[in-house]
Amino acid sequence: MTQTIPMTAAAIGGMGHSMKRKEDPRFLQGKGNYVEDVNLPGMLWMDIVRSPYAHAKIVSIDASKALAIPGVLAVITGKDLEAYNLHWMPTLMSDTQMVLPVDKVMYQAQEVAAVIATDRYIAADGAAAVDVEYEELPVVVDPFKALLPDAPVLRTDKPGKTDNHIFHWEVGDAAVTDKAFAEADVVVKQDIYIPRIHVASIETCGCVASFEKTEGKLTVWMTTQAPHAIRTVFALVAGHVGLSEEKIRIISPDIGGGFGGKVPVYPGYVIAVAATVLIGKPVKWIEDRMENLQADSFARDYHTTAELAATKDGKLTALRFKTLADHGYADAAANPSKFPAGLYHICTGSYDLQAAHVEVDGAYTNKPPGGVAYRCSFRVTEAVHTIERMVDIMAHQIGMDPAALRMKNFIEKEQFPYKSVLGWEYDSGDYHAALQKAMDIIGYDDLRREQLEKRARGEYMGIGISSFTEIVGAGPSKDFDILGIKMFDSAEIRVHPTGKAIARFGTKSQGQGHETTYAQIVAQELGIPMAHVQVEEGDTDTAPYGLGTYASRSTPTSGAAAAMAARKIRDKARKIAAYLMEVAEEDLEWEPGKFTVKGNPEAFKTIQEIAFAAYTNHPQGMEAGLEATHYYDPPNLTYPFGSYICVVDIDAGTGQVHVRRFVAVDDCGNIINPMIVDGQIHGGLSMGLAPALYEEISYDEAGNCLGGSFIDYLVPTAVETPNWETDKTITPSPHHPFGAKGVGESATVGAPPAIANAVVDALWHLGVRHIDIPMTPSKVWKVLRDHGVTGS
Amino acid sequence: MSMKTVNFTINGEAKSVQAESRQLLVHCIRETLGLTGTHVGCETSHCGACTIHLDGEPVKSCTMFAVQAEGKSLTTVEGLAIGGTLNPVQEGFWEEHGLQCGFCTPGMMMTATALLRTVNEPTETEIREAISGNLCRCTGYVNIVKAIQYAQRKMHATPAPEAVLQGGD
Ligand code: FES
Ligand code: FES
C-alpha cells in the first residue's frame, strides 16, 4: 500500500494542508452549543447531595425540609432507585458501582441524594436542606494497607468477598526474566508512584435528560465522548424498566474538552435520566467544579516497583514491573474489557528488550473510582513514565549518557514490524532519527557542556530525555471490545447531486477539530473541496454506530473508515464516469476531483459532474445515488512515537523547577492537518507538564480529598507553561489506509518523564536517584535539603 | 426570594431584567438573556471562562451578582464581532489555531481584547500574565499567545516580526 499522499490543490484542501478549522466561526462568536447551553421548555434542575465522609453508614435521610421549599419537586434517594433495581449499575470493567447508595457511602463527595427543582438556585437550596445522618466507618486510603489481612472489607455488597483485592494480571515469562536478572551485570530498582490526577476539562460533566411520555422516547444531551456506546449501556442497564434502544437518543453536542474524563457513565447522568422518566419533564444536571474534581474522572494511581537489568556496557536485557493499582471503591476504569491494566504492557517502550515480566494487582480503597484516563490510551502513560525513568536511572548508574544508552537499545528501523516480548506488534518506527533530530534542535552536546560548567558553580541544571512509544487506535476487534462491543469505528458519506457531501461518524470531537480533519480526508479521497464537506457526529439518531473518541483512536479508526467509504464511492464514480464518456473503466485515471481518459487530458469528468449523473443519468441497472458507509476494524494498533528533550533550571533556594526549553519531535505518520497536529501536541505537552510539576489529587488519612478545587488542584496557566518547540519525523503506518497514526495523546504520555528525568539529572550528583511527580517546589526543596543543599 | 429590576446595556442594547438578588451575573447573561457564549468552568474566579467586559474592564461574571450590573455597560463574546465581521482578536484566534474545544475561548478573547485596548504593544510576558486568570486545557497557550500577537499587529498595522516565543515562567 502506497503511503505517500499526493498534495491536492489548496482549493480542495486535502491532507497535508493547514486548513483553518471549520468549527471555529461558531466558537469564536459564542455560538457553540455545549450541554449547558441546551434549554428546554419546562426544564427542571437537579442538584446532588454528597457525602462529607469517605466511608460511612447512612443511618437516615430526611428530605422533609427540602421538600418544604417552594419549587423543590422531588428528592431522589437510593431507596427510590432500589424500587426499580437501578441503585447499582455495571461498570465498563464488569464491576458494579452505586448510582445512589442505600446503606453506605464509599468515598467523600459520593452522590447520596438528588434534588429536583424548578430552578438551579432552588435545587441547591434543596440539596443543602436534605438531612443525612451518617455513622462513620473505618477508612482505607492506602492501597497497600487495603490488602493487609486486617483491613476492613469495603465491598460488603459482594457476597463472599473477604478482602479488597480486585484483580491480578500478569504478562511475560517470569522464569526467563528471572534468569536474565540473575545473569545481569547491573540491576537498578526503584519504587515509582504515579499519583491520581484529574483531567479537569474546562467544561465539567453534565446532561439534559428529556423523556417524552407519549412516545416513550428518551433524549439525553450529555457530555460524552462515546454517545453510541452510552446508548447501548443505557438500554442494557434500564431495559427492565422499559427503555428500549430505538427509543433512546444520545446527543453529544459541542464538548468542552474530554481527555477521557467524559467516557464513563457517572451516577449523575443516570439519576437525571431516572428523574426525567419519573417526573416526565426535562431535567438538567451540571456538575460544579468541586464536584467534578472530587467525584469523577480520575486517572493513574499506580504504585510500581520497577527493575531493569543491563550488561555493564549498557545493553538492556530485562525488565520487571510489579504494580499496585488503586482503583477506588469500584473498578470503573475505562479499559478494553480484556485488559484490566489497559495497555500497560507496552512498557518495554522503544527498546529491544528480550525478557520482561509485568504484574498488576488492583485494590479497592475509599476513593472515587479511578483509572479513567487523562489524555492517554489505557495506562500507556504509566508504562512510558516508568520505563523512561528506569532507562535514565540505568544510564546514570553505569555512567553512560542517557541519549547514548537509548540509541544503543532502540528497536532498529529495520526490525519493524517488531514483535515485542510482551506480545505487541509495533507497526513502524525510526526511533534513532527522532532522538537525533531532537538532540540537534536543542544542541544537546552544548547543553551538556553548559551543565558541567554550571555544576562547577553550584547551579542546578538538568537535561531530560524521553523517547516514548505510544500505542493507540484501539483496536483490532479480535482483541479489543468494551462490554463485548467490538472497537471498530465508522463513517458514512453521502454525496449530494450538486457534488457537495455530508459525512457522519461514530466518533465525537471534544476539540480535536474533526469537522475539519475528516472533511480533509474526504477531500483528499474524492477531490470534493473540504469546504463542501459537512461533518457531523455525536447524534445517535443520525450517525453510524461507533465506539467514540478517546485513546487517540479517531484518525486510526473513523478517519480510516472515511477513506474506505470514500474509496467505495470512488469505485462507483469510476463506473459512472466510464458510462458517461463511453470508455472502459480501465481507461480512466483518477486524480483528486476527476477521472480523465488515459492519454486524452481533454476528456474528463469531475466528481461534481459524476455526482449529478448519479442522480440524473446513471447507467441502467445501477443503483441511484452516491454514498457509502464503512465500519473500519483496524488490523493492528498504530504506534506513534517521539523523542522529547527538556532543560530545567532548579532554584536551590525555593526548589522551583523552571522549564527553560522543551523540544518535542513527534512522529504520527502521515499528517492530515499540520496546524491541528501541532496544536494537539502543544495541548498534550501542557497536560504532561501539569502532572510532572503541579497536579495531584491526594487524600488525607480520613479520606478527605486534598485536590478538590482549583485552589488546590493546580492547572497550569500561561505563565507556568513554556514555549513548546515542536518538530516531526514522518514514518507512515503501513497498515492504515493513508498511513496515519493517532497523535492527540502522544505528548501527554511522553512529556512527564522528560521533565522528571531533567530534574533528577540536575541532582544526581548529590545522590538523588528519583523524585515522584509532581515535582512541586516544596518536594524538590525538601530533597535538596535532605542532600545538604541549603541554597540561596 | 425577592426579585429586583436591573437595567444595563449589553452588547449595545439596553435591557431591563428581573433578577433575584442572589443571582450570579453569569446566570443572568446565560439564562435570562440567552447569551450562552459566556461559559462557566468553576464559579470560583479561577478559570476565566465567564470573563466579560463591565464598562470596558474584564471581569469574571461568575463572582458578581446580576444586581451589581445596574447602570453598567456590558460586553460579551457575542458583542465582539461587528456586523458579522470578526474583530482582530477573533480573527487571530482563528488564524493561529488559538482554540480547540472552544470552551475557554470566549473568556480568553474578552481578556485579550481588554489587554490590547489598554496596552499597545504587550510583550509576550505581559500577554501571558494578562491571560493567567484564564485557564485553557486544550491549547498549551502557545497559539493563544500567537493569536493575541496577531491581533496586536492587525490593530496597529505593524508587520509580522520573526516571532520566537520564550514561554512562561
Ligand atoms: S466560571 Fe468564572 S472564573 Fe471560572
Ligand atoms: S480550547 Fe479547550 S479549554 Fe481552551
Show me where the domains of chain B are located.
Answer: 3-79, 88-158
Residue with cell string 462557566: B40
Residue A543: the pLDDT is: 96
Model confidence at B82, pLDDT cuts 50, 70, 90, reads: confident
Residues 246-285 of A with CB under 8 A from B: 254-257, 259
Residue numbers of A annotated as active site:
225, 375-376, 745
Distance CA A525, CA A568 (A): 10
Q: What pLDDT, on a 0 to 100 scale, did the predictor assign at position A482?
A: 85
Distance CA A559, CA A544 (A): 14
Q: Which of A213, A273, A279 is nearest to A237 (CA)?
A: A273
* Helix boundaries (H) for A319-401: 380-398
What ligand has the least distance to the C-alpha of B62? 1
Q: Is B108 in the pocket of ligand 1 (CB under 6 A)?
A: no
Of B47, B142, B167, the CB nearest to A202: B47
Q: Considering only CB atoms, which chain A residues are within 8 Å of B129?
A: 718-719
Residues 183-202 of A with CB under 8 A from B: 199-202
Count other C-beta atoms under 10 Å from residue A87's C-beta. Answer: 20
CA of residue A66 relative to chain centroid, distance = 39
User: How do strand A485-486 and strand A600-606 relate by DSSP bridges?
Assistant: unpaired
Ligand nearest to the backbone CA of B50: 1
pLDDT of residue A242: 86
* The pLDDT value given to residue A522: 98
pLDDT at B162 > cutoff 60: no
Residue in the structure block whose three cell numbers are 437525571: A272
CA–CA separation, A598 and A610 (whole Å): 18
Tell me, what's the pLDDT at B163?
54
Give which of A193, A298, A197 is closest to A689, Cα–Cα: A197
* Nearest-by-Cβ selection for A289 from B44, B127, B142: B44
Residue A620, C-beta contacts closer than 8 angstroms, at least 6 positions apart:
none
Angle B44-B49-B55 from CA coordinates, rounded to 5° = 90
| Residue B118, min C-alpha distance to chain A (Å) | 20
d(CA A739, CA B130): 41
What residues line ligand 2, using a CB cutoff of 6 Å?
A 202, 257, 511; B 99-105, 136-139
Grid coordinates representing B55 are: 464598562
Alpha-carbon distance B125 to nearest alpha carbon in chain A (angstroms): 8
> What per-residue confidence (pLDDT) applies to B168?
67
- Give the pLDDT band of residue B158 (cuts 50, 70, 90): low
Q: Band the pLDDT of B91: cuts 50, 70, 90.
A: very high
For atom 4 of ligand 2, the residue with the nearest CA is: B136
Question: In chain A, which residue's Cα lies nearest the Cα of B88?
Answer: A28
When scoring B26, B35, B38, B42 by the number of chain A Cβ atoms within 10 A, the one with the most, hence best to mutate, is: B42
Tell me phi and psi for residue A575, to 5 degrees.
-60, -45
Cα of B50 to ligand 1 centre, how many Å? 5
Measured between CA atoms, how close is B34 to chain A, in angstroms? 9
Residue B160 above 70 pLDDT? no
Residue of A nearest to B89 (CA): A28
Amino acid at B81: A
SS3 A529: coil
Spatial CB neighbours of A763, under 8 Å, sequence gap ≥ 6: A460, A462, A650, A771, A783, A784, A787
Ligand nearest to the CA of A256: 2
Q: What is the pLDDT of residue A376?
A: 87
Pick the ligand that lies closest to the CA of residue A24. Answer: 2
Report field, pTM of the whole predicted structure over 0.95: yes
Minimum-distance ligand 2 atom for the alpha carbon of A202: 3
Taking CA atoms, what residue in B is nearest to A745?
A: B138
B88-158: CATH number = 1.10.150.120
Q: What is the rounded (10 degree) CA torsion for A161, A167, A168, A170? A: 160
pLDDT of residue A188: 98
Q: Do residues A189 and A389 make contact, with C-beta atoms less than 8 angstroms apart? A: no
List of chain A residues with pLDDT < 50: 1-2
Q: How far is the CA of A703 from the centre of ligand 2 (A)?
A: 31
Query: What distance in Å separates the CA atoms of residue A478 and residue A37, rounded to the nearest whole number?
Result: 40
Nearest atom in ligand 2 to the alpha carbon of residue B49 is: 3
Query: Are B37 and A678 inside 8 Å of each other by CB?
Result: no
Give the closest residue to A512 by CA, choosing from A471, A482, A553: A553
Q: Does A21 touch chain B (CB under 8 A)?
A: yes
Task: Calculate the CA dihedral of residues A391, A392, A398, A401 and round it to 10 degrees.
Answer: 110
Pairing of strands A44-50, A111-117: antiparallel
Asked if residues A690 and A195 have their Cβ atoms less than 8 Å apart, the reply is: no
* Residue A184, C-alpha cell as written in the block: 545481569
Residue A223 in contact with partner chain B when CB distance is under 8 A? no
Whether residue B169 has pLDDT greater than 80: no
* CA B74 to ligand 1 center in whole angstroms: 17
Identify the H or E element spanning A383: helix A380-398
Domain covering B3-79 assigned CATH 3.20.20.70 in the classification: no
Grid coordinates representing A363?
Answer: 485494590
- Report DSSP state, residue A254: B
Residue-level pLDDT at A434: 98
Q: Cell numbers at residue A339, please?
A: 485488559
Chain centroid to Cα A230, Å, comes to 17
Full DSSP string of A682-724: HHHHHHHHHHHHT----B-TT--BSS-STTTS----TTT-B--
Taking CB atoms and an 8 Å limit, are A201 and B137 in contact across chains? yes
Backbone angles phi, psi at A232, to 5 degrees: -65, -40
Residues of B within 8 A of A511 (CB-CB) are: 100-103, 138
Q: Between the CA atoms of A449, A455, A461 and A463, what dihedral angle is there, to the nearest 10 degrees?
A: 50
Residue B122 neighbours by CB distance under 10 Å: 19
Alpha-carbon dihedral sign for residues A408, A409, A410, A411: positive
The distance from CA A489 to its chain's CA centroid, rounded to whole angstroms, is 16
Task: Find the helix packing angle between A444-456 and A431-442, rounded to 10°.
Answer: 50
| pLDDT at site A363 | 98
ipTM of the complex: 0.97
Q: Ligand 1 within 6 A of B41 CB?
A: yes
Q: Is the pLDDT of residue B1 over 70?
A: no
**Residue tagged 458517461 (cell numbers):** A580
Q: According to DSSP H, which parts of A444-526 are helical? A: 444-456, 514-526
* Ligand 1 lined by B49 (C-beta under 6 Å): yes
Q: How far apart are CA A699 and CA A777, in angstroms?
A: 19
CA atoms of A479 and A489, how far apart (whole Å)? 15
Helix (H) / strand (E) element for A74: namely strand A72-77
Model confidence at B161, pLDDT cuts 50, 70, 90, reads: low
Nearest CA in chain A to B146: A723
Whether the CB of B135 sits within 6 Å of ligand 1: no
Ligand 2 pocket test: pick from A202, A292, A715 the residue with the most ligand atoms within 8 Å of its Cβ.
A202
Amino acid letter, A231:
R
Angle of helix A674-693 versus helix A746-763 axis, rounded to 10: 40
| Cα–Cα–Cα angle for B137, A550, A776, rounded to 5 degrees | 40
**Site of grid cell 479488597:** A164
DSSP code for B109: H
User: How far off is chain A from B149, nearest CA to CA, in Å?
Assistant: 14
Give the containing element (helix H, strand E) for A409. helix A402-409
